[in-house]
A and B are shown apart, each in its own frame.
Chain A
Amino acid sequence: MEFNKENLMRVINQGWTNFRRNSWLAFSTVGIMVLALLIFSGLVAFNVVSQNAIASLEEKVDVTAYLKTEVSEGAALEIARELENRSEVLFVNYVSRDQALEEFKKRHEDEELIQEALKELGQNPLQASLEIKARETAQYASLVSFLEQGRFGNLIDKIDFYENQTVISRIQKISSGLRVGGILVTLILSLIAVLVTFNTIRLTIFNQKQEIEIMRLVGASNWHIRGPYVVEGAIYGIIAGLAVLIIFYPIVYFTSPKIQAFIPSVNLANYFSNFSGEMLVLVLGSGISLGIASSLIAVRKHLKI
């Protein structure tokens, strides 16, 4: 069979006709594909939630280095500049002694006892500090040792890293665990979904084993036999993909506020409406390729001459 427009239209037509005439079988196959794609989309959503939750936790982690009271502002700013030049540092914020006092006063505005005590003291008891934010949680340890063992070691009084250390390492463990786990679960469940879909399409085509044999006896080329099945598989994929989007988006909009109440930084509804184009391509694309690939593999078995 040559590839021209007429033959292509013929194959597409036949695929569509097969789909209509097999409506019962088609319905159940599409149903299985919908389940498979829903699992897939659900995993995408789960990964979005978990990544966002981790990111928001990580954002809260920082380290403050308190400078000795005799360190001049110039020296402090030099340390800050040095830190900012390091690649793992996101930003450094210098808080001078006066600023620290201002903030302290503001924070304890209503507590007269503290205000009184400060006045009584007559001088500023607070230290200047550097708030340091690293790009990744894992980098704090090396930053801290740079500060302690470097040439600024004698200017620094203490670093609150050690108080934060347990929290930091726990977040690190959870986040890497969730990342690896998410990928693993996605892979395994997707594999199961693909196998179930493939098997369903295989059974659909197995039903037509005799038809394929007859086509071969009449002299149909392999592509002429395969073509309509491939088109049928693609139609399964398109319908299943659209159905999944129709089911998935309302669920997202419904659950989004509930998840946001739990983890405020995660807005699923926003995320998926921003990426609706990508979701359309992803879900439809995986549906269509799943349908086509399953059909191709399933027909192949019956095409031996």
Chain B
Amino acid sequence: MITFDKVIKEYPPAPRLRQGYGGQATLLRAGNGNHGAYRALDDINLEIKDGEFVSIIGPSGAGKSTLLKMLIREEAPSSGRVLIDETNVAELEDGQIPHLRRKIGTIFQDFKLLSQKTAWENVAFALEVIGASVQSIEDDVPKVLKIVGMESKALNFPHQLSGGEKQRIAIARALVHRPKILLADEPTGNLDLLNTFDVIKLLTKINEFGTTVVLASHNREVVNSIGRRVITMDKGKIIKDQEQGKYSI
């Protein structure tokens, strides 16, 4: 279970210098909010149960990505608690963060594949970091590549793959260590329609195996086709939370 409890994320104002009259520099504050600080997440309270498929939608800058980044501690909240089961992710020490990330699969809009490694090695890497044996890597990687339909391109490097193929490899990497949670941050943002629905089909299939899937997207067709829980965000706040939602901004 994932719980967000009164989570606020504020970024300090970016200072800008403007050359004033008489050579005097004036400090300007950028961003919105009372004191010039920028609030990416504003009092988020949210519960996601095990095995759910949740879509988070909203315009750019609504805070969708920040919300996902909280879960893998790429960002820490300014205040509030982010719980995965009983663990408060916000309070993890640096040394524990890799352990947290190994339990979660993540897919990104820009794929984030290791360009120096082949498709096979990219998938195997997720197993290597958890210290899996050579034997289990050789067993599991082909299986997952088969699930995403990429077994024939296992030895290609990322630059030899199309966008859709790269995202399949990224999904395979996110899946191979059987995480309980799969985060997908605009996974279809760089894909054409056909590939988009292939990826969504894969995500729903993964969810059927019991993995919690959290999908951030601003693609209307995608969200409407899934027909599951939809959380709508705007300006850092949750403005709507529907059990069987539609994209409605």
Contact = CB atoms under 8 A, between A and B. Distances in A.
Nearest to A224: B129
A305 B131 CA distance: 20
Interface stretch (A1-9, A97-105, A170-178): A1-9
> B interface, how many residues as a size bin?
20 to 34
Interface stretch (B83-91, B94-102, B227-235): B94-102
A304 to B, nearest CB: 9
A270 B113 CA distance: 55
Given A215-B114, A219-B100, 10 more contacts: A1-B131, A6-B134, A10-B128, A18-B116, A21-B116, A214-B112, A218-B106, A218-B126, A219-B130, A221-B129
B133 A6 contact: yes
B125 interface: yes
Nearest to B99: A219
A278 interface: no
A219 B101 contact: yes
Contacts of A217: 72, 74, 101, 106, 112
A120 B30 CA distance: 114
B137 to A, nearest CB: 10
B115 interface: yes
30 contacts: A1-B129, A1-B131, A2-B131, A6-B134, A18-B116, A21-B116, A208-B116, A211-B116, A215-B114, A215-B125, A215-B129, A216-B98, A217-B74, A217-B106, A218-B101, A218-B102, A218-B106, A218-B125, A218-B126, A218-B129, A219-B98, A219-B100, A219-B102, A219-B103, A219-B104, A219-B126, A219-B130, A220-B129, A224-B129, A305-B97
Contacts of B125: 215, 218, 220
B173 interface: yes
Interface in B103-142: 103-104, 106, 112-116, 125-126, 128-131, 133-134
A224 B102 CA distance: 13
B73 to A, nearest CB: 8
**Contact-residue size bin, chain A (C-beta under 8 Å from the other chain):** 20 to 34
Contacts of B126: 218-219
B131 A7 contact: yes
Contacts of B134: 6, 10
A2 B130 CA distance: 9
A1 B129 CA distance: 7
Nearest to A11: B128
A218 B179 CA distance: 12
A33 B19 CA distance: 47
Which of A7, A218, A220, A305 gathers the greatest number of chain B CB atoms within 10 Å? Answer: A218
Contact of B129 (A18, A208, A211, A219): A219
Contacts of B74: 217
Contact of A214 (B99, B100, B113): B113
Contacts of A18: 116
Interface string B3-14: 000000000000
B74 to A, nearest CB: 7
Contacts of B114: 211, 214-215
A220 B130 CA distance: 8
Contacts of B72: 217
Which A-B residue pairs are the 6 nearest by beta carbons?
A: A219-B101, A219-B102, A220-B129, A221-B98, A214-B112, A219-B98
A220 B126 CA distance: 8
B20 to A, nearest CB: 36
A7 B132 CA distance: 9
A300 to B, nearest CB: 13
A11 to B, nearest CB: 9
Interface in B53-100: 72-74, 94, 97-100
Interface string A102-126: 0000000000000000000000000
A7 B134 CA distance: 9
A224 to B, nearest CB: 6
Contacts of A214: 112-114
Contacts of A219: 98-104, 126, 129-130
Interface in A187-222: 208, 210-211, 214-222
